[in-house]
């Protein structure tokens, strides 16, 4: 068996090619330079109450041997291209979740109010039963109707 040359992916060459293509598209004004320089932060405050969904572009990476850097670059470039769309989507999801939370809170308050009302009615019914029992056991007994 002859020694066949090992063929693998030249990551440095691939990265250089990707960067060259992006630079060419940027130079041809096909890509707004602000898009690629856009930060990876969500426009919503992740610490705001009720914010349960946030954009986490830091998770867009690859650790695949040989091609991980290229894949990471491609993923992050896509996120930058979709940045406004993704932030809008996250904001819509958070708004919907806030509405659901508010509705849940309203329903929980109503459930507690109804439980208290049922408790009061049960207490009133028990009082009425005691009063009927007192009347029935009083001299003269139950009135005939």
Ordered by start, the domain boundaries in the chain are 11-104
* SS3 (DSSP) at 128: helix
d(CA 145, CA 137): 17
d(CA 15, CA 13): 5
- DSSP letters, 68-81, are HHHHHHHHHHHHHH
pTM, to two decimals: 0.47
Region 33-62 average pLDDT:
62
Does position 62 have pLDDT exceeding 90, yes or no? no
Does position 145 have pLDDT exceeding 60, yes or no? no
CA–CA–CA angle 54, 87, 77 (5° rounding): 100
Confidence category of residue 51, pLDDT binned at 50, 70, 90: low
Region 11-27 average pLDDT:
76
List the one residue out of 82, 86, 76, 80 whose CA is nearest residue 43: 86
Q: What is the mean pLDDT of the chain?
A: 78
Q: Which two tokens stand for residue 41?
A: 């932060």
Does position 103 have pLDDT exceeding 60, yes or no? yes
């Amino acid at each position: 068996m002859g020694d066949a040359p090992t063929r693998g992916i030249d990551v440095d060459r691939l990265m250089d090619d990707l960067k060259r293509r992006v630079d060419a598209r940027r130079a041809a004004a096909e890509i707004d330079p602000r898009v690629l320089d856009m930060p990876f932060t969500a426009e919503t405050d992740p610490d705001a109450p009720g914010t349960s969904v946030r954009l986490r572009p830091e998770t867009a990476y690859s650790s695949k041997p040989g091609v991980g850097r290229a894949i990471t670059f491609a993923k992050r470039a896509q996120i930058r291209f979709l940045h406004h769309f993704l932030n809008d989507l996250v904001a819509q999801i958070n708004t919907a979740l806030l509405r659901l939370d508010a509705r849940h809170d309203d329903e929980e308050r109503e459930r507690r109010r109804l439980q208290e009302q049922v408790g009061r009615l049960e207490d009133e019914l028990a009082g009425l039963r005691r009063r009927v029992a007192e009347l029935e056991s009083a001299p003269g007994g139950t009135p005939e109707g």
